[in-house]
Structure 1
Amino acid sequence: MNKRRRTVRRLVQVLAWFLVLSTVVRYGMKMAEGEGASVGDGRLGGDYPAFYGAGAALRRGLGDVFYDSGVQSKVQHDLGVLPGEGPGTYLAFAYPPFVALFYKAFAFFEYRTSYVLHMAFMTLMAIAAILWMRDRVPIGLLTWDTILALGLIFMPIFESIRAGQNTTFTLLLLVGLWQGLAKDRDWVTGLCLAGLLFKPQFFVLPFFMVAQRRRWGALGWMGFAAGLLMVLSVVFVAPTSLGDWWAWASAFRESDADRNAPYMITLWDAVPTRLGQSPWSRGLGYALCALGAGGFLFLCSRKGTLDSLFPWFFPVLILTAPHAVYYESALLFPTIATFVARGRLWIATLAFLSAYLMNLDRAWIFLPLALAFVGAWPRAQGEGALQPAKQDRITPP
């Protein structure tokens, strides 16, 4: 590596970590304002009151009636986590009951402490996901600690952590799924696939991908883990909790798609929103999702293409999911990392920065996805086959 490249590498490394530190300090100062769920400009934690309220409801023994708007509203208002909101308002918790069990542990703490712990946990999930990609994505110009820093300040990842969401856990499971497939570790693949049941909209495509590749051992592990999650839900939440959740989540998906239409980044919802709600526009959206997912699965059926499909998987998954919100563009980070590995720094930079533009104006909400598809297209035969990465070292100047 010549002196100029070493200098650029070091400058990017220092700048990336400076931005991480400044972001932590700036947001920490903002959190110091107010108390409880209140901050200077509104509510602390974005959507976190829904998760905190779910855990608190289980602590109160309300598992058998939890999937009800009146119950969720009362719990959240009793906790004081909706400052400035009127009676009857609430943030819906539409996750499976075993997810509420996870958040029960966070509900043992005061809201602000719980939120900080949740941010720390989801940050660790992001770090683990990015580092787990190391031998799937060989980075040349940049060191992996630089990639890690850039991941932490990638706007959708930061936004999902700040807003009390759990997208970084989804990212970890998806990276683990690919690692399991690539290394023939069925138990890793199966457990990660079962974990995706916490967000079922991201379970369907990976499930069919694993089944299409005839990884029966992985499906066996998935069945075992999924069964365990079901048992936990029935025993520790309520015997009817799974059925209650399914009815509640089905209704929520429709209402949320209408209420948050400008924030949806899946063709399932975006096509009817842009073309006007009608049977034919919804049918077109469903057809495009089926075509995209089917095309990807067809490519998966070709031997020797698994590594080359790694950067395609994440944008296809987002576009074809039954429900995906703008901050779930965080799942594009592995795709952007492969651009760096292939020497396409210009498209990696554009895709990275476009996420900030998307956050400023929702009119640009599909720009990161579009750039991801452009960059994922191989320039030459065989370019997409990523080789295992070597340990990164910086040669002293």
Structure 2
Amino acid sequence: MISWNVPKIEYPEEPKMPNILLWILICGIVACSGFFIGISLSTNGYLDPSWDNIKLILLFSIIPMFFVVLIRLLVHFIVLFKYQSSCEELNYCFYQWRVWAEKHIILLTSSRVSEVDEQNKNIILSKLTPNKNNQLLPKFLKSRSLWEKSEEITKALLTPISKFYQEHHLSTPIKILWHVNTENKEAIEIDWAQVIQEQVANLAFNVAKVEPLPQTHLMKWLSTLYDGALTDELYIVLSIQFDENNVSEEACCLLLSSPSFPELKEISRYSKLLRPIVCDIGSLSEALEAQSKFQLNGKNAQALWCCHLNDKNKEEVIINFIKQNTDFSLERIFDTEMILGNAGTARYAMAISLSSLDLPNRLLVSQLGSKLYLQRISPK
């Protein structure tokens, strides 16, 4: 099953043009028959004797033939009109579906904290060392208490966002949402609102609210935004994973806005997070086909990102994706676990942020339970 209830849009068969030779023959038969009927009526005295052959041909041949052609053309144009009306309705339905499918939220900018970012000032994805099954820990966070880590991470994440905010002369109120890994009880007990507000006090932010993410997972929360009325308010999402159960320690900050915000503020560079489609592994092919059909005018993704997928599902995703993108290069397939090591709470946000460094028209596939989330990400 897929989460999109995609209608089956089947266009009617286009009406065929009338068979010209057949209708020439029919018109000839009508004309000849009419002429002979006129001659017969004239011979038997049913018509005025002054009528000559020209009048007979006009009345009994030309006029009937004209009405036969007129009726045939009228029938053809009625059928053609119905066909065109049906096509227009289906085209409008397809357009409405495309508008619905291409609803998006804006990723203005992002910031990250991870060992990979610590070691690479400018990340070049093709040159990163494989880290699959590794636990990566940023050096500047080692030997620090959890409270110190929370302050350092929050500062490291919000400072680049503040710089972006100042560079574009923004004054729009920002709603800050945060979520951390729930396995760490100490992390949950931290007063995150206080930590964030202390850091924000030193930065150029107009903060409206600071509160926890209302959903248990970032994917679920993002999915609620597409059908809701996004205001011009900005959203900062802090997603933090502390060192726990052999999971990489990492954090990410996403600055999100409504679709109209960049144009209002004349921001030229940003990414669109299009409406995701949710499916199980059995309907993956159908989901990929529907997504390709209704999003980005049918353009195929130029890069595939796999996030938190088990090996079996990852293989199925790659196979199905390549089937629909036959000219796709394997060099443009990226695995966040290969780049960042063992995944945790912040991994989906990290994947969104990292994929924004890559080629245009990316497809990010992530797994939550038994469901796959297929998210198209496109630049302006």
Band of TM-score, shorter chain: under 0.3
The higher radius of gyration belongs to 2
- Higher strand proportion (structure 1 or 2): 2
TM-score by length of 1: 0.26
TM-score (norm 2): 0.26
Query: Counting helix residues as a fraction of each chain, which structure ranks higher?
Result: 1
- Higher RCO (Cα < 8 Å, 6 or more apart): 2
